[in-house]
Structure formats: C-alpha cells, structure tokens
C-alpha cells in the first residue's frame, strides 16, 4: 500500500493520461456512452425489422431464432430503450433495456417490460445480439417459452405455446361466449374483447407471472392488468394454467373464462378501494349467472363450514385469498364473496349490485369505501349487511 501512495511526478501524470484515454476513447466521449449508442442503433434496427416482418433484416442484428418465436404475434408497435450498458467480457456487453410493444387491435397503450440483452462485437466492430431474456425479477413474455401460435376468435385473441390449434380454438370459443355474457351483466362500456395466453404448463404460467409455480397450483387462470386502468391502458391478459384447466368440465371451463373476462370488463372500476371479496365475488357471480348452478353446487366448502357450525363471522378478508395458503380457506373466500354478491342481486337487484361495485371503486381508497357504498346504494350498514349475509348463508347452505 505504501508504494501506491507514493506515486508522484511524471509517473502519476502518465497514469492519469492513460486512464483518461481508456475512459473517453478516440471520439472524446466516454466508452460506455459510445457502446450504449451503438447498442441502441442495433436494437432500433431490430425493432424496425420486427414491424416490417423482415426476417433477413432481423437476422442481421443477431439471434435470428427469436424472430421465429414471435413472428406470428400481431404487433402494432415494438421498440427498445437502452437504460444501461456494462461489460460482458471480451468484445461483449450486457445491456439493460425497456421493451415496449402493442398488440394490434387490443393494446391502446404499450406494454413495457424490462429486458437484459447480451451483445457481441465482431472483428469489424459490428455489434449483434447474442441473447435476450427477461431482466432479473421480471416475468417472461410468451415468446420466451417457444414459438407462439395465434388463433383469432370473433371477440378474442388467443396466443399459445406448445398447444394444439384445436385446444387454442376451444379457448377462443370460451372467450367469445364470455364476452356477451359479461356485457349482459355489466354493460357494454368496456373493450368487449379478450387476450388469452395459453402456455405449455403450470411452470410456463408461473414464469409469465414472475412467481413460483406453487403459488398457482390448482388455479385455472388469472388476469393481469393495470388496477384502475382507463381506456388508454394496455389490454388485460387472461393467463391460463392448462394443467388445472384440463381437470375442469365444460361448465367449469366456461365459468372460469367468464370470471376472468369479468375482471377485464371491470378493470377501470377496480382499484385499491375494492376488497377482493367484491372483485372476486362479482366475477364469480357473473361466471355462474345463467348456468343454473345452485349454492350447494357452487359453494361446497362454505356449505360444509355452515353445516358444521363454522359459518364465517365476517366477510372474507383480502388475506383469505392468498394462493399459497390453505386450499379450503381459499375456496371458502371465493364462495363467501360469491354468496355476498348473489345476495345483493337477489335482495336489492342486479342493477344495484353493479352500482354498488362502481360506487366502491369511485371512493378511490379502502377506508370507508364499502361502508359508504352500502349506505348510499343499498341503504344499509356494514354490520347490518354482514348479519343479513350470515342469515343468507344459513338459508341457502344450511
């Protein structure tokens, strides 16, 4: 350490000059800035090739197999924004970038995801993409899992990996039937179309969501989107767990797709003020509406609890809906939300149920939202409503 501390005179000046050359480069700009600009130009050409459906131009930017995987996806926009570049070894860099894209006819605003790309430079100084993957802790995109197959329904777009065309067409049929069913219950002031993603397996579903597979075991589908998203938000995605879906009968499959489509329709009225018992209960109410399913058929876990003297003393909490917890508790939470919404429709009417849902969302924050909507729309208090719901459970399930 003493020798390093004693660097003086011309030796120190020479060392400083050498470091300046390394940092600045021949053009007078920092080397990292030069590499970042070079990488951005490569990715700009790559994005232009995607939108032009030019496989040769895409291949010229590197990693041509990636284009094959996503070439069937109908895209209205595709762009990269490089946010950082760091060394990736000899003649290589690792770039952090934001990928923004829009699915044609569905996304009114771009979906933006974090990506990590590795680029290499050849002897002539040309950069090319060697690999692209989700950034750490970011979910995969469907084309990260394999070649995407696209099926268009009348009111749906189904994107799948590792699935037969027949299966994807069956999902399009389910979604096409779900859309008018939801509109009949909720109204038509929503997009009235659905984007469905069907990965190969539960593991694929979990990778799209950036979560462990154990969190979604037994869950047939989930919907992702911006809470409170307005008309200019990206379209929600209904993400299917094909393993769980395979265990359902025809009615169950339709109920699930209609449930998820309800989340798409109600997104702009769903926010931090909306408890899960209401958002999930309402989606189940729409899903079961018109199926003829009776309470004992639709709420077996809650019926068991009521008949064993374990009827809930309060409406389900958000914590009761945790996917990773007890399966029976989760089932009772969904069934509790469904029976509460069913009771509102039975006792106050379907229009009041819709108005109650919207009134809760209009509050914007959780404290007082449910209480205020119950008073203004239903003319009751939370305490009175809970007591009425408990009697309803005994009447319907006891």
Pairing between β-strand 221-224 and β-strand 156-161 as defined by DSSP bridges:
unpaired
Question: What CATH code is carried by the domain that includes residue 193?
Answer: 3.30.2010.30
CA angle 285, 291, 297 (to 5 degrees): 75
- Within a domain: 20: no
Of the residues 214, 244, 264, which one is the last residue of a structural domain? Answer: 264
**pTM, to two decimals:** 0.89
Question: Does 91 share its domain with 158?
Answer: no
- Within a domain: 164: yes
Helix 9-24 and helix 31-52, axial crossing angle in degrees, nearest 10: 10
Question: Does 277 share its domain with 325?
Answer: yes
Q: Across-strand partners of 237? A: 195, 224
Question: Does 33 share its domain with 133?
Answer: yes
- Within a domain: 86: yes
Question: Does 32 share its domain with 50?
Answer: yes
Question: Does 169 share its domain with 244?
Answer: yes
Which residue segment(s) compose the domain that 188 sits in? 139-264
Question: Does 127 share its domain with 167?
Answer: no
Of the residues 236, 264, 292, which one is the last residue of a structural domain? Answer: 264
Question: Does 235 share its domain with 294?
Answer: no
- Within a domain: 7: no
Judged on CB neighbours under 10 Å (0-12, 13-18, 19+), 204 is: buried
Task: Give pLDDT tens digits along the chain (398 positions).
Answer: 333 233 233 343 333 333 333 333 344 445 567 889 999 999 999 999 999 999 999 999 999 999 999 999 999 999 999 999 998 788 899 999 999 999 999 999 999 999 999 999 999 989 999 999 999 999 999 999 999 999 999 999 999 999 999 999 999 999 999 999 999 999 999 999 999 999 999 999 999 999 999 889 889 999 998 776 666 789 999 999 999 999 999 999 999 999 999 999 999 999 999 999 999 999 999 999 999 999 999 999 999 999 999 999 999 999 999 887 788 999 999 999 999 999 999 999 999 999 999 999 999 999 999 999 999 999 999 999 999 999 999 999 99
Judged on CB neighbours under 10 Å (0-12, 13-18, 19+), 327 is: exposed
Of the residues 264, 289, 310, which one is the last residue of a structural domain? Answer: 264
Question: Does 367 share its domain with 282?
Answer: yes
The number of folded domains in the chain is: 3
């Amino acid at each position: 350490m003493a020798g390093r501390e004693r660097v003086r005179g011309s030796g120190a000046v020479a060392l400083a000059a050498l470091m300046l050359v390394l940092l600045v480069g021949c053009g007078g700009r920092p080397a990292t800035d030069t590499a970042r600009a070079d990488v951005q130009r490569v990715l700009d050409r790559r994005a232009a090739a995607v939108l032009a459906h030019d496989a040769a131009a895409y291949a010229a930017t590197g990693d041509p197999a990636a284009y094959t995987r996503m070439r069937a996806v109908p895209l209205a926009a595709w762009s990269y924004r490089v946010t950082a570049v760091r060394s990736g070894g000899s003649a290589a860099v690792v770039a952090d970038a934001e990928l923004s894209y829009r699915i044609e006819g569905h996304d009114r605003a771009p979906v933006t995801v974090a990506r990590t790309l590795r680029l290499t430079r050849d002897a002539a100084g040309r950069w090319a993409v060697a690999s692209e993957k989700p950034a750490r802790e970011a979910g995969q995109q469907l084309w990260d899992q394999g070649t995407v197959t696209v099926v268009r329904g009348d009111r749906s777009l189904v994107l799948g990996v590792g699935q037969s065309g027949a299966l994807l067409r069956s999902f399009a049929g389910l979604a096409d039937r779900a859309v008018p069913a939801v509109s009949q219950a909720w109204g038509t002031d929503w997009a009235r179309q659905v984007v469905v993603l069907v990965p190969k397996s539960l593991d694929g579903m979990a990778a799209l969501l950036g979560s462990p597979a154990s969190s979604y075991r037994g869950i047939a589908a989930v919907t992702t989107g911006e809470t409170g998203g307005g008309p200019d938000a990206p379209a929600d995605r209904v993400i299917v767990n094909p393993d769980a879906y395979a265990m359902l009968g025809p009615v169950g499959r339709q109920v699930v797709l209609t449930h998820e489509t309800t989340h798409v329709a109600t997104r702009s009225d769903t926010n931090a003020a909306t408890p899960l018992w209401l958002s999930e209960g309402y989606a189940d109410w729409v899903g079961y509406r018109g199926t003829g399913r009776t309470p004992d058929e639709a709420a077996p876990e809650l019926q068991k609890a009521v008949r064993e003297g374990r009827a809930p003393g309060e409406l389900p909490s958000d914590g009761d809906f945790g996917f990773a917890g007890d399966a029976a508790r989760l089932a009772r939470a969904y069934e509790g939300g469904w029976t509460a919404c069913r009771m509102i429709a039975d006792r106050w009417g379907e229009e009041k149920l819709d108005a109650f849902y919207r009134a809760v969302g209009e509050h914007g924050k959780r404290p007082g939202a449910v209480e205020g909507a119950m008073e203004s729309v239903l003319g009751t208090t939370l305490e009175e409503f809970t007591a009425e719901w408990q009697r309803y459970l005994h009447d319907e399930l006891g």
